[in-house]
Structure 1
Amino acid sequence: MIDLLTARSRGRYVFDLETNGLLAGVTRVHCAVLYDIDTDEILDFRPHEIGKFLEIYQRATLLIGHNIIGYDIPVLAKLYGVRHSPDCEIIDTLPLARLVYSDIKQTDFPLAKAWKAYKAKVDAWDQKRERSRLDHEADIADVDFTEEPPEWRDPGPYPYTASAPLEFPGQFVGSHSLEAWGYRLGAERKGDYSKEMKAQGLDPWESWNEAMHAYMIQDSRVNVTLYRHLMEEGVEPLAVALEMACQALVCRMERNGWPLDVRKAQELYARLSQRRHELEVALREAFPPWQVQLEDFIPKRNNKAKGYIAGVPVERWETREFNPASRDHIADRLTAKYGWEPTEFTDGGSPKVDDDILQSLPFPEAKLLAEYFLIQKRVGQLGEGNNAWLKLVTKKGRIHGRYNSNGALTGRATHSSPNIAQVPSVGAEYGWDCRVLFHVPIGWKQLGADQSGLELRCLGSFLAVFDGGAYIKTVLFGDIHWENAKALFGLDPDLLRDEKNHPEHKKYRDVAKTFIYAFLYGAGPEKLGSIPGVTAEERKLWRSDPKHLKALRAIQDRFRRRRQPVPNGTQLCHIYKGEQLTERFLKSFPALKRLLKVVKDAAKKGWLKGLDGRKLPIRSEHAALNTLLQSAGAVICKSWITMAEKALVEAGFKLSEGLGEDWDRDADVVFLGWIHDELQVAVREGLEEKVSAILIETGRQAGAPFASWKCPTDVEVKPGANWAECH
C-alpha cells in the first residue's frame, strides 16, 4: 500500500519522529510519519518499518517539520548515517513561524486575556453550580421524607458558550511551539500523550506504544495546518531560504560548543568573589547599622510583664545592616549621609540607582558601589547565576549556548543558556579576563571575523536613493565621524581635523561617533543631549534668555499634555540640548531627514519591508529607522555566515557537524559563536590564511543577493588563541 501511495506522490512531506531521548542521548527511533501535503495521505511507520521510512525520506523533494533542523534531521544522521537528498528543500516551521510572526507576543496577549476572562466566568459558574449541589444534598441529608426527596435543580453548564473566545492559555504567549500553534489555529490541537503518561508515573518515551503512535500522527496534522497557514501569509522565498540556512548553521554551532578554560574561570571567580567580600566590608563600615522606626504596635490587652497597656501605642524600632546589593538601602544611606537629592526615579517612584548614576556622584562610596555592582554582575555570569558559565560547561569543557536565529522582531539573533552576547568586550572592566576563557584546543587557532562599520553602511545603502551614494563614499573613503561632528557642532564644512593642534577636534569626533549610533538606535532627545552634556555657560544662557526659557517651558507643557512626569533640572536641559542637536544634524543631512520621513510614513501601516522582503513589525514611528537598519544588518550577517559555510565546504574543508561526543575528528573548521556582526571560528593550525580569505571574500559578497542593497561590505579577520585575542 505504501508503495502505491508513494508512486503517485510528488515527494513533498511533513514528517515527524518519536524517539527515546534528546539529541545528545538518543539511541532509538520508535516510529515515524510522512504526511503527503499534496494528497493528504498519511504514511505511518512502526518500529519494524523504519527502514522503509528511510527509503522514502531519502527520495523526498520537500521535507517539512517543526524543529526538524534542530532535531529530527540530525537524529537520522546520527543513528543511521542517513541524509536527505541534496536537492531536497527543507522547511522548518519553527524558524518559519518566527520569521512570519516575529512579534507574536503582541497578538497573543489579547488572546490570552480574553480566554482568561472567559475561563474565570466559566469557573465561577461551575463553582456556584457545585455549591448549589452540595447545599441541596446537605438540606435533604437529615430530613426524613415520606416521599421521594425533591431533586436538585441543576442550572446546567455555563450557558454562554456561543460567545466563547479562542482558547489560548497564558503560558503560550510568545511561544512558537507546535502546541502553542495548535491553540492559535484552533482546528487541530496537539494531544496530551506525554502529560497523561507522566501522570501515571510512566516514561512516555521509553518504548513504542499505540498512544505514542496516535500522538505522532496528530502532531503531523497540526504541523500541516501550521505550514499551510504560514505559507498563506505570502512570505518572501529569499527570506525563507536565508532563515533555513541560518537555522542549520546555528544548530550545528550549538552542538559543537565553545571550549571554556575551566581552570582560569574558577581562578577569576575566586578573585572576583574575594574583591566582592572586600567591598562589602568597606561599604558596611562606611554605612554602619541604623535604626528604622516601624509602625506602632497597639496592644489589645494589658501585659504587665512587657509593660503594655491596652490601646496605648508602643513604638517599634528595627536595626538594619547595610546591604550593598539593595538599591533602596543605597538611596537611603546616601540621602542620610550626604543629603543626596535624586533627580531620576523608577516607575514605582523610588530613586533610580544604577552604574551611570553612581559613577556621576561625587561621594567616595558611590565609586565603591559602582564597582560592587559590576563585580556582582561578573560573578553572576561566571558562577552564581542560573546560566553561569561554570554551571553550564560540560564534562568535555564546552559551553553549548543556545541561539534563536530570529529571536528579535528585526530578524536579529538572540542568545541564551548562556547569553554569549553579554560576555563583556575586551575594553570593558574584566572583559579581557572573561573573553580569554573562550578558547580553542591545542592544535587549533581561533579566527575572529566581523563586518566593518556595518551600521553606517546600512544607513548609506538606504540613503543612496536620496543622495546618489554621497554618504556611502564618505563612509568608505572619508572620515564619516568627523563629517558628523561638523554637522553636529555647526563647524565649518571645510574644516580639516587636526587633533595635534586642536585637541577639541578629538572630543567633537568622539561625541559625534557616540551620537550617531545612539541616534540610529532610536535614542530620544534626553539621551542624545546627555552625550555631549550641558555646559554651565549653556545653563546660564538658557535661564536668562526669554527665547530659551520659552522653549524649555514648551517641553514641560508637552509632557503635561501627554500626562507624563514633567522633566526638570538636568533632564529638561538634556532634552532641550538633544532636540537642538537633532535639528542641527538633520539640517546638515537633508537626505537623512527625507529617509526618516519616508520610513515613518511607511511605518504607519504597521510594518516595513526588510532587505530580503520580510515584514518588519513597527511598534512606534520613532523606532522605525532603527528597526529597518538593525534588520538590514542582521540580514547581511546571515547572508555572510551562510555564504561562508557553503564556500568552505565547496573549497574542500570539512566542517564539524557536532553529532558525536566531540568535534568531528577529521574536521578542519568549527563555527564557535556568532554574535550579531561577529563570527568566531576554530581552524586547524596551518589553515588560518585560507579560511580567513574565504571569510573576507564571502563577507564582501554578503549584499549581492539583495536588489536594493547599495553599499559594499567588508570583513576584518584577526587570529589568536582565544576570544580576547581575536576581537
Structure 2
Amino acid sequence: MPEEVLIWDCEANGLLDTATKLHSLQIGTVKGADSTIYCDALPGYPSIAEGLQRLSEAPKLIGHNVLKYDFPLIEKLYPGTLRLEQMVDTLVMARLFAPEERAHSLDEWGQRLGVLKGIFNGPWDTCTPAMMEYAAQDVVVTRALYNHVKEVEDWGCLDTELKFAWIMFLQEQNGFTLDIKAAQELEAELRGELADLLTEAQSAFPPRWVPNGKNAQAAMFTPKGDNKRHGYTAGCPMTKVILQDFNPGSRKQVGERLIQLGWKPKAYGNDGNPTIDDEILSRLPFPQAKKLVRYFAVSKQLGQLSDGKYGWLQVVGSDGRIHGRVNSVGCAPGRCSHSGPNLAQVSKKDLRMRSVWTARRDWKLIGCDGASIQARALAHYLAHYDDGLAINREINGDKALGTDTHSANRKALELCGMRVPPGYSGDPGKLLGRLREGAKRALYCVLFGGGDPKLGKTIKEECREAGVPVPRVPDSELGKLARRQLFKSIVGFDRLQAAIQAAARSPKKGGRGYLKALGGMHVKCRSEHSALVFLMQSFEASVMKLAAVIFYFEKCAENGWEHGKDFAFCANVHDEAQMEARPEIAKAVGQAFADSIKEAGERLGSRCPMAGEYSIGVNWRETH
C-alpha cells in the first residue's frame, strides 16, 4: 500500500541549471520521526531507484522549495518519474502563513521552531557521509514546518497558490526578451537628457564655497606664521574652502540648497539629512525644485536600465532574455514581488522604458489585464451596503452618458476643480473624458491608502494635465474635500471601510486579526489604516492568480498549447499578464486569458462580474 503523505528532499551536485547528478533522496513520513536516505554513491543505503519508486507511489509529496528546485531537478534527471499534482511546497505555505516574515529558508524556519537544520559548507560536487548526515535533518525540519503551517490547507487557496507558483517558475525559466539595441539607444538618449538636466540644475544652483573637509570644524586651522601669498596671518584661525559645483545626485547637497531657499524639512533620515523624494520636491513652491524632479526620474530610469546592480543591460543573458525572479506570495495581500530586476517598477509614464521589452523572434507579445478590476473589487464589497449600485454603474454604466463609476465620481469632484471651466473653447466631451481618467486616479489613490495630502496633490496634477484651473488651496485641504465628495458618490464606502478596519483589528481589540481574501487567504494587515488597500489588492491577486491557473492548466490543455513551444509567460505584474506566442495563435491566447479572468471571478463568487482585456503587439509599450 502506498503511503498517503511523504516528506522529501534531495541533494545534487549543483543548482538546477548546472546539476548533472543526484547524490541522494531523503524521505520521511509526516506523522513519524523517520528520515530514510537513498544514495548510490555510499555503502549501506537503499538505492536512489528505490527512493524514486517510493516517491512516485505517494499521492502527496511535501518539501521545501520543491516547485523551483527538487521537482524540476528530478524531472530533468529522471523525466516522468514524479507528477506536479503530487507536490506540496512548504515554502509557499510558509509565505502564506507568515507574510510578515522576510526570510523563509528552511534553515531560518528551523531556528524559529527550535529544530535546527545543521551546517554543511560543502563540497557539493561529491557525495560524502557528512553531506548525508546534514541531508537527513532536512526531512526533520520540513516535517516540523509543515505541521506548523498546515492550517493554510483549510483556507481554500493553497491549490491555486501552488499551481500559480509553478507557473511563475515556468515564467522565470522562459524570461522576457530585451531588445538590446533599443535599450542601448535609450540609454544614450537618457544620458543626453541627464547631461542637459545637470546643466539646468547647476544653473539654478550656482557653485558655492564650502569647507574643504568633513565639516567646518575639520576644515579649520591656525597658521603658525604669516603668508602674504595665501593671505595667512599667524595665530588667526582660518577655514580651508573649495568651490563646489552643485551635484543634484547628492541628496545632502539638494537638502542644503533647498533649506537656503526657505524649505523647512519635516522628516530626516538616519544620517541626519532631510528626506527628499519626487513627491516632496513636486510639492515645494520653488522653481528650482521642479527642475530636480525630472533629474531624479531620469537618474532612476538609468539605474533600472544600466547603472544599477540589476540594470537590464547588466543582467540580460546570452539568450537575449532577462530571467527575473518572482516570489508568488511576496507581499502581505497575496500579490507577487519581483527581483533581479523588479519588473513591477518599469515606468508606465515614460513608455520608452516598456518599448525595449519584446517577444522572441517571429512571435507576438500579448498583454492581458483585468478590466477595471479595482473598481469591480470595490463594487463586490459595496454590494452589502448599496444594493448593487456600484455593480450596476460598473457593468451597465455608459461613459458617453456619464452613468459609469468614474464619470459619477468625476461629477462628484467638480467642487475640486474637475469640471469644464466657463468659456472653454475646446471640445467639452474630450475634456470630460480626460477628467474622468483623473477621477479614476483619484479613486485609486483612496483605495490604495493615499492620505489627504496625496489625494489633493493627485487632483491638482490631473487638473493641470487636463488644462483646467488648478485649485489654489493646500493639498491636504483639497484632499479632505475630495474624499468627502467621493464618499457621497460611493454609497456605503464609509460603512465598508469601518467594517474592514473592525475585522482587521487584533483579537485583543475585538477584531478577527485578519481579512479573508476572495480566494480564501488570511490577509494580515500592518494597521487598520492599511486594511482597505490590503483587501483590494488581495481581491486582485485572488482573481489574477486563479485566471492564470485556469488559462494554463485548462485552456492551454484544451487547445494543445505547450509552454515554450507555442506560447510562454513573460511577466505577471499585479492585474496584468504579458505572454508571447506564435502569431497565428496570438489572438486565441489573448482571448483565452481574458475568458479565464471572467471565469475566475465566477468561481470565486465575485458579486461583480469580472472581465479581461487584451492587446497584441511587438513590445510591452503596445500591449498595455
| TM-score above 0.5 | yes
Find the counterpart in structure 1 of residue 464 from structure 2: none
The amino acid of 2:523's aligned partner reads L
TM-score, normalisation: structure 2: 0.86
Match of 1:682 among 564, 576, 580: 580
Provide, for residues 526-554 of structure 1, a one-character-per-residue CA deviation record: whole Å limited to 9, x for no partner: 222333349xxxxxxxxxxxxxxxxxxxx
Paired with 2:499 and 2:124, the residues of 1 have a C-alpha distance of: 55
How far is 1:276 from its partner?
A: 2.2
Residue in 2 aligned with 1:599? 500
Give the CA deviation at 1:391: 1.0
Task: Tell me which residue corresponds to 2:353.
Answer: 434
Query: Is the contact between residue 297 and residue 313 of structure 1 (CA under 8 Å) also seen in structure 2?
Result: no
Aligned counterpart, 1:158: none
Does residue 212 of the first structure (1) align with residue 116 of the second (2)?
A: no
- 1:323 aligns with 247
Q: 1:267 to 1:96 in 2, by over 3 A?
A: same
Equivalence for 1:227:
146
| 1:603 Cα offset (Å) | 1.6
Which deviates the most, 471-480 or 297-306?
297-306
How far 1:176 moved relative to its partner? 0.5
Quote the residue 1:414 is aligned against.
337
- The answer to whether the 8 A contact 1:10-1:38 is kept is no
The answer to whether the 8 Å contact 2:152/2:158 transfers is no
Q: 1:65, CA displacement in angstroms?
A: 0.5
2:363 matched residue in structure 1: 444
Moved more, 60-69 or 435-444: 435-444
Q: How does 1:497-646 map to 2 (within 5 A)?
A: 500-501=427-428, 505-506=432-433, 509-533=436-460, 573-605=474-506, 606-646=513-553
Seen in structure 2, the aligned counterparts of structure 1 residues 286 and 259 have a Cα distance that, compared at 3 Å, is same
Other-structure match for 1:461: 380
Q: Residue 373 of structure 2 contacts residue 610 of structure 2 at CA under 8 Å; is this kept in 1? A: yes
CA 1:314–1:342 in 2, change beyond 3 Å: closer, same or farther? closer
Aligned to 1:466, what secondary structure does the other structure show? helix
Deviation at 1:297, TM superposition (A): 6.4
Q: Note if 1:182 corresponds to 2:110.
A: yes
Query: Does 2:556 correspond to 1:649?
Result: yes
Q: Match for residue 113 of structure 1?
A: none
> How far apart are residue 215 of structure 1 and its match?
0.6
SS in 1 for 2:26: strand
C-alpha deviations, 1:188-219, integer Å up to 9, x for none?
A: 1011112xx4xxxxxx2010000101111101
**Which secondary structure state, in structure 1, belongs to the residue aligned with residue 24 of structure 2?**
strand
Q: Which of 180, 200, 213 pairs up with 1:262?
A: 180
1:335-377, Cα deviation, whole Å (9 max, x unpaired): 65xxx33255433475554434555667665554333222211
Answer with 54-63 or 638-647: which moved more.
Answer: 54-63
Per-residue deviation, residues 63-91 of structure 1 (Å, max 9, x unmatched) = 011100000000011112134246x5321
User: Residue deviations 1:377-424, cap 9 Å, x none?
Assistant: 111111110010111111111100100111110000010000011111
Cα RMSD between the aligned structures? Answer: 2.8
Residues 392, 399 of structure 1: 8 Å contact kept: yes
Distance 1:577 1:463, change over 3 A: same
Q: Which residue of 2 aligns with 1:14?
A: 7
Q: In the alignment, does 2:408 pair up with 1:483?
A: yes
Map of 1:89 onto structure 2: 86
* Structure 2: 5+ residue stretches without partners: 42-46, 398-403, 462-470, 507-512
Q: Counterpart of 1:341 in structure 2: which amino acid? A: G
* Post-superposition CA distance 1:165-192 (Å, at most 9, x none): xxxxxxxxx2001011011001x10111
For residues 93 and 330 of structure 1, do their structure 2 counterparts lie closer, same or farther at Cα, with a shift above 3 Å needed? same
Distance 1:364 1:299, change over 3 A: closer
User: Partners of 1:591 and 1:616 in 2: how far apart?
Assistant: 22
One of 571, 574, 594 as aligned partner of 1:673: 571
Give the Cα–Cα distance (whole angstroms) in 1 for the partners of residues 474 and 200 of structure 2. 36
Alignment CA distance shift 1:245-1:437 (3 Å): same
CA distance in 1, matches of 2:287, 2:610: 47
Residue identity (%)? 32
Give the 3 Å change call, closer, same or farther, for CA 28–503 of structure 1 in structure 2: closer
Offset at residue 271 of structure 1 (A):
2.4
- 1:710 matched to 2:607? The reply is yes
- Alpha-carbon offset, residue 500 of structure 1: 4.2
Paired residues of 1:299 and 1:308 also in contact (CA < 8 A): no
Aligned with 1:458: secondary structure?
Answer: helix
Change (3 A) 1:180 1:271: same
Task: Give, in whole Å, the separation in 2 of the partners of 1:714 and 1:85.
Answer: 32
Q: Which has the larger radius of gyration?
A: 1
Paired position in structure 2 for 1:386: 309
1:26 equivalent in structure 2:
19
Cα drift, residue 609 of structure 1: 1.6
Q: 2:341 matched to 1:341?
A: no
Question: Counterparts of 1:228 and 1:15 in 2: how far apart (Å)?
Answer: 14
**Aligned counterparts of 2:89 and 2:170: Cα–Cα separation in 1:** 15
Instruction: Report if the CA contact (8 A) 1:29-1:47 is conserved.
Output: no
Q: Does structure 1 retain, via aligned residues, the 8 Å contact 2:223–2:237?
A: no
Structure 1: which 5+ runs fail to align? 1-6, 105-173, 198-203, 535-569, 657-662
Matched, 1:295 2:217: yes
